[in-house]
Chains A and B, each alone.
Chain A
Amino acid sequence: MTMLNPDPDAALVERVKQGDVRAFEMLVVKYQRRIERLIGRMVRDVDLVSDIAQETFIRAYRALPQFRAESAFYTWLYRIAVNTAKKALVDMKRDPVTTLTALQGADDDDETYRGGMEPTDGETPEALLASKEIAATVNAAIAALSEDLRQAITLREIEGLSYEEISDVMNCPIGTVRSRIFRAREAIAERLRPLLDTREGNRW
C-alpha cells in the first residue's frame, strides 16, 4: 500500500512520535536551511540565527506529541520559529547583552546547556563562495537533464506537486514519476559530490 499523504513529512513525524529521535534528525536536515533563512529575516544579529534555529527545533521536538497534523509539519515548525524569534527579540530589547540565556527564557529554567554557541561559518568568504558554487552546480546539472527528468524534479521541488499530480501532468504512471525524480536527484547529486565530499559523510 502506498502512502500518499498531503503532508510529505507524515511518516517521519509519526516515527518521531514513536520515540525515534533519529527521524527527527532527518526533519532537521530537511528544514534547517529554511528555518535559518526565516529567522535571519527577523533577527539581524547573524550570530543569533543559529541559536534561535536550534531553540526552534528543540521546542518543536518537545511539542511534537501535541502536533495533530491539522497543518503540514513545516507550517507548524514555521510558526514555532516565528514565535521563538519574536521571543528572542523581546528578550534582547530587555537585555541586549544576553543572547541564548535570554532566549531559553523562564520556561526552561533548568537548562544550562549552550550547545549552539559555536560561531557559524555561514558568513565567511569561503562559505559564501562554497554556497555560490553549490548553486551554480545545481543549476548547471538541471540544465543538463533530459526534458522528462527536469520537468519531473521541477514540478516536485519548485511547484510542490504530489506524485499523483505530476503523473497527471506528465501523463505517465506514478512509478515512472518516482523513478524520474530519483534519477534527476542522483544526476544532480553526482555533480555536487566533489563539492560536498570534502567533509560530508564523516559526521552525518
Chain B
Amino acid sequence: MSGVASDSRGARDMTAVATDLNPVQELVLEAAASGTPIRIAGRCHWIDAGRPVNATRVASLAVHAGIVDYVPGDLTITVRSGTTLREIENLTRAEGQWLPLDPPGSSDGTIGATIATGSFGPLAHAFGRARDLVLGVEFVTGDGRAVRGGGRVVKNVAGFDLVRLVTGSWGTLGVITEVTLRLHSVPLQPATLSLAVPGGRNALMQRLTSILAAPATPLAVEIVDASLARSIGLPERQQILILLGGNPASVAAQRDVFSRLGGAESVDNEAWSRLRTVEDTSPPIVLRISALPARLAEIWDGAHASLAGGGGAMLHSMPSLGVIRCILPSGTTHQTVERLLSATPDATVVFERLPSAMWAAFSPSVVDDRLSRGIKLAFDPSNILNPGILGPTS
C-alpha cells in the first residue's frame, strides 16, 4: 500500500535532525532547495481521497507526535501535530475532560490533519468547528520558517490571526507542527434521543424548527436518513438524533421538552461513535452540501430525491449549520453526482473524497481569488506545500 511506504519515507525524513532547526524545517528547506513539492500527511488517511496534489513525495507527520503540555485545570492541551485523536481522548478522559471535535473517521487520525482540513462532526452544533477550538498553532512555512500564531491561553487577540488562517488551509500555507486546543469538561449524564420525522419537506422543517427553538441546549442535533440509520444499528427510518448532556436535572428537563414534541425514544450513546465510523475507510465519494439553515429541508429533500434508487447512498445533516453530508457508494457515476448538484441549487459544495478523474469537473479552485493567491505566495513562495490540493492558484 502506497500509504504505508509513504509513511516510512516520511518517518525517515523526520529523523534527520542535524542543526538547531526542527526536523520539519529541515524537511521543508530541503524540499524548497531542490524544488520538490511535498504532500503533507498525518497518517495518510486522506491520501486516496482523490485530491489533485501535484507532488510525488509524501511527508508524514505521524512520528511527530506526543503531548507537549497538559494542565487539566487550564482546560487546554498542547500537542504535536502527529498525535492521534485517540491519544488526546484517552489522556483527557482520565481527567474528566474532552476535546469536543468528532470528525468523520476513526480516532486513529491525527490532530494535525483534523485541524489542517478543518474537519468537524455533530458536536460542532454546540462546540463549534475546528476553527473555534484551536487556540494556538505552530507551523513551518514553505520557506522553512517556524511560525507561531495564537498562544496557550483561552482568550487571545495578540497579533494577526495566523491560527484561523492555517486552520482549514489543507497544509498549503505551512506544515502544522504543534497545536494548542481548548478542552471542555465531559458532560455529566450524556443521553441520546431519537425523534421520528414524518415524511415530507414541510414536516421535516417544522420538526427541525421545534427542536432547534426548544428551551434546551443539546450538544448535537443530527438528521440521519433511513439507510444510514440502519447502518448504525437503529431502526431503518429517517430520524433526528439529539445528544444531551449536563447536570441530571438539566438532562431530565430537556428530555421532557423533547418528549413532549412526540415520537422521542432513548437510544444508545454508541450511536454517535458508529455514525463517525459508518463509512468505509475509503468510500469513493463524500461531499458536503451547505446553505442557509432555513433551506435545510429543501436541500435534504432535493438530495434525497436525486439519489433515490441509487442504492446505498447515506445522508446525514447538521441542521443548525445548514450542512448535509452525502456518502455515496462505489459505482456512483458522474451523472449521479451531476444530478445531485442540480437538485441542490445555489448551495455550497465541498468534496471530501472524489475519484481523481472527477475533481476537475466538480471541484473548482477555492483559492483563486486575489487575497488567497497573495496569501499562498506569501507563505509558500515556491509552491511546494500540497500544491493543487485546494485547486490551482493561477
Does A associate with B in a complex?
no
Binding site for B on A (CB under 8 A): none
